[in-house]
A and B are shown apart, each in its own frame.
Chain A
Amino acid sequence: MRVPLYQVAHARSGDKGDGSNVGLIANSPEIYPLLLEQVTAERVKEHFSQVCKGKVERFEVPNLLALNFILHDSLGGGGTESLKTDAQGKTHGQGLLSLEIEVPEDVPKET
């Protein structure tokens, strides 16, 4: 079945220069391989296509059941120069959690 990431994972984001970083963490060990397989840098770039003007990098942090994404050029200049409401990418973590992935029926989910 297809579920939004917020049912099986949690996230936090912040700024990295004129880009943002989004940390995505699986709610349980059986979810982590699903994130590894389905939440690729390409899919994240596509999901944030109107936000992220640069490339997306992905790092694996298996000990925290986590992936870390860098969304380059996504803050309209960043820091004090940006005119955006979200000049620091604070909302990008919440944004990633609406991406949908395929999970087995019996995986525990938040509703």
Chain B
Amino acid sequence: MKTVRIGNGQGFWGDSVDAPVELLRGGEIDYLGMDYLAEVTLSIMMRQKLKNPETGYATDFIGFIRRVLPELVERNVRVICNAGGLNPQGARAKVFEVARELGVGGFKVGVVEGDDILPRLPELIESGHELANMETGEPLAPIVDRVTSANAYLGAQGVVDALDQGALIVLCGRITDTALALAPMAHEFGWRFDDWDRLSAGTIAGHIIECGAQCTGGNFSRWWEVPDLWNVGYPIVEAAEDGTFVVTKHEGTGGMVTVDTVSEQLLYEMGNPQEYIGPDCVADFTSIDLKQVGPDRVQVSGITGHPRTPFLKVSASYLEGFKATGQLTVSGPRAIDKAKLAAETIWKRLERSGVHFEEAQKTVELVGVDACLPGISPAPAEPPEVVLRLGVHDADRNKLVRFGKEIAPLVTSGPPGVTGFAGGRPKPQEVVAYWPALLAREEVENSVRVSVEEA
């Protein structure tokens, strides 16, 4: 039976730059999927693109291409990624530029566009689409002037079209992460886009590998069982036409693939397990059968699913003021009491200078005591040291600049044993907030464009 080997070499924006290279060189794969977009990455790319219209894509990807392009072409390993961001055409031009520099030609690059709906927001709202926030129910219209990016999550169809046209590399913007695995399966096996069980199988395969090493031993609860985590192998699915697949990794790599490591990843960012809603189908995670069929080999079968919904998810981002965080390390006897006094001192000095923050706008954490899990893990009564971490959020940037000036003085004008003030005054950062919404799918799908060009 024909199987197709699909790897994932990049779990998120900022993941290991060596992982996709190791995955490519460590053994046989047919496809390499790479995810470069976090929820607000597109907003950052928007600002880059406003400054320079040739940017707006994930530049890490170009670095990757520079390292491996001749091998990709020679071995015909096809790459599918969302590194195109807001400018997949620009990313393609850059890939072609790199190819010329390397003297590599005779391959095709596909681009999938149509996810960027920012320019269409006024028209969409005008014609009755509320784009209400999925968490709060509020309509988008009142904040539409502050929106810095708005992209629909596209499904696998556009990528399949590009693969059908012979693309070696497919550059997308905001396609759903799971489509990076589903698309090559649908292309290789000719799956129909109303075959809900197979589409769900491909979607679940994508979900398992979309976070890279999180299914091969990374972030695993029983971490002490995981061998050679430093050299963790990124995941590969070996997919078959009937929708069953095996999750594995290259021989000789660290980490492990077991029913337990795969189960943990299946539950990651899970809502209702019977209704995992994606652009192509609604997958049922309670239908999954997992079986260990060899060392570092887990077979996944039995997957069923339901028809897709009439909507696509839209991920928009908007500006929501500024934030700043600063920290000090407090050591020696009664460290907790001293850290609390230091925090109180900072807030009172800010008040004296006329800078007031509401309770909801500020955070005080004692890292080492109760920053992450307050009330859950018992806090030590007398820790030898704690890190005091202070954060503020406000619409007025100047207040945050003032806050940044009140941290360092504690070293000499606070309680004793205060140190660890390094890296300069905390600087205000723009807060780019996230706005998830739904939009009728035909509004987007009718304007998806796929183009394939040869180098």
Q: Which residue numbers of A lie inside 8 Å of B, CB to CB?
A: 6, 10-12, 14-18, 21, 23, 25, 27, 47-51, 59-66, 68, 70, 76, 78-81, 83-86, 91-95, 97-98, 110
Contacts and interface: CB of A to CB of B under 8 A. Distances in A.
A6 B374 CA distance: 18
* 9 nearest A-B residue pairs (beta carbon): A23-B267, A83-B391, A10-B221, A50-B375, A83-B363, A12-B264, A95-B373, A50-B374, A91-B372
Given A25-B264, A48-B376, A68-B267, A84 B288 contact: no
Contacts of A61: 267, 273, 285-286
A29 B411 CA distance: 55
Contact of A85 (B389, B393, B434): B389
Given A51-B376, A63-B289, A79-B40, A84 B365 contact: yes
Given A61-B285, A63-B286, A95-B377, A83 B362 contact: yes
A64 B290 contact: yes
A91 B371 CA distance: 10
A85 B289 contact: no
B270 A81 contact: no
Contacts of B363: 76, 83-84
Nearest to A64: B263
Contacts of A97: 221
B248 to A, nearest CB: 19
A17 B135 contact: yes
Contacts of B286: 60-63
Interface of B: 39-40, 134-135, 214, 219-222, 260, 263-274, 285-290, 320, 323, 325, 362-363, 365, 367, 371-377, 389, 391-393, 431-434, 436
A79 B269 contact: no
A94 B373 contact: yes
Nearest to A78: B434
B39 to A, nearest CB: 6
B263 A86 contact: no
28 contacts: A6-B221, A10-B222, A11-B221, A12-B265, A14-B268, A14-B269, A16-B269, A48-B376, A49-B375, A51-B373, A59-B272, A59-B273, A60-B273, A61-B285, A61-B286, A63-B289, A64-B263, A64-B266, A68-B270, A76-B363, A79-B39, A80-B39, A80-B40, A81-B433, A84-B391, A85-B365, A95-B373, A98-B377
